[in-house]
Amino acid sequence: MDIIKKPIITEKMTEISENQNRYGFIVDKRANKLQIKTAVKEIYGVEVATVNTMNYSGKSKSRYTKAGFITGKTNSYKKAIVTLAEGETIDFYSNI
């Protein structure tokens, strides 16, 4: 099971990373906190202090176009906020 799907790199998450040493990831919906902690430790080689998770449900979206009324749904996902131990950092831009 691929636990970590992608990191969250937004303006708000970058601010939190710099100030509070917390990083966000989109993770598999079935993953628990211990699996996320070990996955971050293996991939990035850092010591993890805590993991907080949030489940986001998909929402119905609709819009009116020239072709008619179109309805759809956004995807549901699970987000994990990982707090690293003191002195640890993750550099997402090193591989670019």
Residue-averaged pLDDT of the chain? 93
Query: pTM of this prediction?
Result: 0.85
Q: With pLDDT > 90 as the criterion, what percentage of the chain qualifies? A: 92
Structure tokens that stand for 9 in this block: 């790199």
- Cα distances from 73 to residues 1, 59, 76, in angstroms, run 25, 6, 9
Tell me the per-residue pLDDT of 10-50, one tens digit each, with 9 for 90 and over: 999 999 999 999 999 999 999 999 999 999 999 999 999 99
Show the domains of the chain with their CATH numbers.
4-84 (3.30.70.330)
